[in-house]
A and B are shown apart, each in its own frame.
Chain A
């Protein structure tokens, strides 16, 4: 008993998987086998999108206390509009669209980082200010835009491979690569060091600012990639398609066991938390709750999970 308890304490991400499995079993009991199976498959698609954004937010959060990226929804909106414009609904424009999305992602990340660094303001304020400007830009670019994504992008985003959504495979590959990078490479170790104690890391000769910059850029690039996939999956880009991803990105990071005060990331937990949140929502839906009721209950569940994972504060 004690041994398993210890094992759980060392792996905070395991809780999110346990929760996800329990919720799926509950769905199975309420909706029956076939429905639960289909819900599981769609959870992999939608969950993959949440994971992609969550991984970026996880990197930013891991760089230390107070680091968070609030510009994700507007980055998704702006990238979607610009990439759709660049592709023009044509398969031949896909490379141009990918290039634009990558460039926009990198540019947003660099701007966020520079605002934080040059103005010496908390990341929340910096990314909030930049998200205001991105929103206006997105409205400007996306005005009257009604372009369907190229056929190739749509079929990729909603495609299947070995009975599982292609999207899930792609994000799984990214997640595995990131997990390897965080655990085994110098960058990953440096990131942990910076998040745990930036000053000590600096004294040890780590390029603290370079690592922070890289994390903000990666976060925006992941948001940009997610934007392309959402547009492909849902058949077009809209300006507010990123709105729900702010709460989702923060929630999957926290529920997944990544330390909010930085220095400890958990890639596996992001997957578990994304599935957990998706199953919560569908279970409430299957039980016949209205949109308002679902919203109230998922909010309460998120708060409850955070409270359960909290520790008593001591002032010494």
Chain B
């Protein structure tokens, strides 16, 4: 059995080339970055970003959009540095509660036919406000075991790359290969067909939103494992960056078309945009602009390629 069908390899070509184009100048200017240590540093913050993008991917797969994931990762980070070390039972209960709430929102969005953008925008205020109540000032302390997991020294291959590969492989296997994953994506691809074959779109959305909540929590745990403390706005920018990563990776809003491997590549590309600028000695103020430019360029290329594909 082939690992990836041909059309999936083709659709991954563009995200892979984009990543290579951003990486090449960094390697060129400073070959040291190619070492075990250099890559580890370069990709240090990639893991939480990839997990947040996977959370967003779950939502986009069912044709919705989550504008609250950044605020949610911030909240989970705050819980992880306040309740989790001191009152583990309360912390774990709160995190489970968040996942259930996420799932309930998913069912609600489907049941009442609500615009997910508006609902999650409102939700972002709930998460953000709660985070502010928990941690009014930046601080807190990350549990030791989290720091140990993130600082684990895996031999030969840099740790963040191992984690990234594991996340991409797990996401690909579950969503693209396993039977439940395909059924869940069906709720985005063809909800009518799901309903006619006796399935429930509301249940599928609840599961996907719940999964997004779980991935958001994992993103937060990995984030505070690296930063060792948190603040109420620590991950706000993940909201838009995660959407950008999914789109860069070949995802589209219509028909639940997503690619976990592509989104991983997209998240890494956006994550190293900052390093790219500092190696080229460009002021960091252009970082977010570069991320926007990458998005526009990749989308233009994709449009040109698909147009050529139609002509052939």
Contacts and interface: CB of A to CB of B under 8 A. Distances in A.
Interface of A: 66, 68, 70, 115, 118-122, 124-125, 128-133, 135-137, 139-140, 143, 246-247, 250-251, 254, 260, 290-300, 302-303, 306-307, 310-313, 315
Contacts of A143: 285
Interface stretch (B19-27, B115-123, B142-150, B171-179): B115-123
B285 A139 contact: yes
B118 A251 contact: yes
Nearest to B292: A132
A105 B108 CA distance: 37
B296 A129 contact: yes
A235 B115 CA distance: 36
Contact of A306 (B122, B286, B289): B122
Contact of A299 (B126, B196, B286, B303): B126
B111 A247 contact: no
Interface residues of B, number: 51
B125 A247 contact: yes
17 contacts: A118-B300, A122-B254, A125-B253, A131-B292, A246-B121, A247-B122, A247-B124, A254-B115, A292-B132, A293-B133, A299-B125, A302-B122, A306-B115, A307-B108, A311-B113, A312-B113, A313-B113
B117 A250 contact: yes
Contact of B292 (A133, A290, A291, A310): A133
Contact of A136 (B110, B119, B286): B286
A42 to B, nearest CB: 21
Interface in B288-308: 288-293, 295-296, 299-300, 303
Interface of B: 65, 108, 110-115, 117-119, 121-126, 128-134, 136, 191-192, 195-196, 201, 232, 240, 243-244, 247, 253-254, 285-293, 295-296, 299-300, 303
B289 A124 contact: no
Nearest to A310: B112
B118 A122 contact: no
Contact of A251 (B122, B232, B286, B299): B122
B118 A306 contact: yes
A303 B240 contact: no
Given A119-B299, A143-B285, A128 B243 contact: yes
A79 B165 CA distance: 43
Main secondary structure on B side of the interface with A: helix
Given A254-B115, A260-B118, A292-B130, A136 B201 contact: no
Contacts of B289: 132-133, 135-137
A315 B201 contact: yes
Contact of A293 (B124, B129, B299, B300): B129
Nearest to A123: B253
A17 to B, nearest CB: 20
Contact of B111 (A291, A292, A312): A312
Contacts of B124: 247, 299
A115 B296 contact: yes
B14 to A, nearest CB: 14
Contacts of B195: 315
A132 B295 contact: yes
Contact of B253 (A122, A136, A297, A310): A122
A294 B296 CA distance: 37
A70 B108 CA distance: 24
Given A132-B240, A136-B289, A299-B124, A291 B129 contact: yes
A292 B78 CA distance: 13
Contact of A129 (B114, B201, B292): B292
B112 A296 contact: no
Contact of B129 (A247, A299, A303): A299
A139 B129 CA distance: 27
